Amino acid sequence: MTRARWRTSTRSSSNGGDCVEVADNLSAVVLVRDTKDRDGATLAFTPAAWRGFVDLAKRVG
């Protein structure tokens, strides 16, 4: 995770910063963490699983 380059979700500014950060620059994994608790838990997804989640979130959100 030391090579992870984190970016804040584009939706973060629209809800007061209560959002997530994503590191998708790694080859085999997409990492997700809470913007307000960067030292807390980090979730790991395969790139395909993350794309599926984002696609679904766009449709229902």
CB 33 within 8 A of CB 6: yes
What are the tens digits of pLDDT across the range 1-54?
A: 568 899 887 766 665 667 889 998 888 999 999 988 989 999 999 999 999 998
Entry pTM: 0.77
pLDDT at position 13? 62
pLDDT for residue 27: 81
Cα–Cα dist 42/52, whole Å: 19
